[in-house]
């Protein structure tokens, strides 16, 4: 895949309309790299003038801040802001709600002011503008899909509608879990929990959430966050349902329905 980087474009004296912030999970996690590629394909197909930072990108600092290491967070943040401001970045889209939250809410006070979108919002815009064309390959029509709200998208930033609007574009049968939207149950990975084992308890949070998702009878669990993807996928495996039930990111669903895979 030929993905333009910001440094290449700048060298050519060009500037993109939007920066695609890939995030660490999107760059390194085997499963989420597929989401990154799916979203990049959608952007290419829609002829969006975008770029990525490539190897210049670094962690936003989200897990450090939430684990209490404010120094490390601010080191990451101030370095990233220098880089982004140096390139004159105005608009950012990312497929990670944690990056989204940090870039959008926590960078401004440190001098980083950008228009930040989560990929669910950007996909919704592209769909509304008619720039995403679904083909006959869309086999999600009428299929039961449940959507798991990411805390950092939902409660943290009030983005409940955009991901659902994207699923509606698939003409899928969207079934809600009992705990959804503002009462959605966390997958268990937020607040840097992704990077350590859970404290002692009587159940894993992702098992609790996966059971709820499975009880809807949906054959696809849609997610919009790399950590939720890992947690729910592990939950489905633990319940030995990985043959019948697939965990997919919104971008993967749309790319499939566009025949872009």
Residues 16-55 that bind another protein (CB under 8 A): 22, 24, 26-28, 33, 36-37, 40, 52, 54-55
- Applying CB under 8 A, which part among 127-135, 138-146, 184-192, 213-221 lies near another protein? 184-192
Whole-number minimum distance, CB 125 to another protein, in Å? 20
Q: Under 8 Å CB-to-CB from 3, ≥6 apart: which residues?
A: 40, 51, 52, 54
Please report whether residue 101 would count as binding another protein according to CB under 8 A: yes
Please report whether residue 58 would count as binding another protein according to CB under 8 A: yes
Can you tell me the distance from the alpha carbon of 100 to that of 151, in angstroms, rounded to the nearest whole number? 12
Which listed residue (45, 191, 239, 246) binds another protein by CB under 8 A?
A: 191
- Applying CB under 8 A, which part among 74-82, 122-130, 162-170, 215-223 lies near another protein? 74-82
C-alpha distances (whole Å) from 145 to each of 25, 36, 93, 190, 247 are 24, 21, 25, 23, 10
How big is the site for another protein, counted in residues (CB under 8 A)? 72
User: Closest CB to another protein among 46 and 64?
Assistant: 64
C-alpha distances (whole Å) from 140 to each of 130, 171, 174 are 19, 7, 10
Please report whether residue 204 would count as binding another protein according to CB under 8 A: yes
**Contact indicator for 140, 172 with CB cutoff of 8 Å:** yes
Please report whether residue 99 would count as binding another protein according to CB under 8 A: no
**Among candidate residues 115, 114, 131, 120, the one with its CA nearest the CA of residue 95:** 120
Q: State which of positions 216-235 bind another protein (CB under 8 A).
A: none
């Amino acid at each position: 895949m030929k993905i333009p980087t910001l440094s290449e474009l700048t060298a050519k004296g060009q500037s993109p309309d939007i920066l695609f912030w890939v995030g660490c999970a999107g760059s390194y996690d085997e499963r989420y790299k597929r989401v990154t590629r799916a979203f990049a394909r959608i952007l290419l197909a829609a002829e969006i003038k975008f770029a990525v930072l490539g190897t210049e990108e670094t962690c936003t600092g989200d897990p450090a801040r939430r684990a209490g290491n404010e120094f490390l967070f601010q080191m990451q943040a101030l370095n990233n802001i220098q880089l982004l401001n140096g390139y004159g970045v105005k608009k950012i889209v990312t497929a990670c709600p944690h990056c989204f939250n940090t870039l959008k809410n926590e960078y401004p006070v440190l001098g980083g002011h950008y228009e930040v979108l989560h990929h669910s919002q950007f996909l919704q815009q592209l769909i509304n503008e008619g720039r995403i064309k679904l083909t006959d390959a869309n086999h999600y029509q009428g299929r039961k899909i449940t959507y798991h709200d990411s805390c950092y998208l939902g409660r943290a930033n009030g983005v409940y509608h955009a991901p659902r609007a994207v699923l509606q574009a698939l003409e899928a049968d969207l079934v809600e879990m009992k705990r959804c939207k503002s009462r959605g149950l966390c997958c268990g990975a937020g607040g840097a929990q992704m990077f350590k084992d859970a404290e002692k308890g009587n159940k894993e949070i992702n098992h609790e959430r996966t059971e709820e998702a499975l009880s809807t009878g949906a054959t696809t669990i849609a997610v919009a966050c790399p950590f939720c993807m890992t947690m729910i996928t592990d939950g489905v495996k633990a319940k030995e349902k990985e043959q019948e039930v697939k965990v997919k990111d919104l971008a993967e669903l749309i790319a499939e329905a566009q025949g872009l895979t």
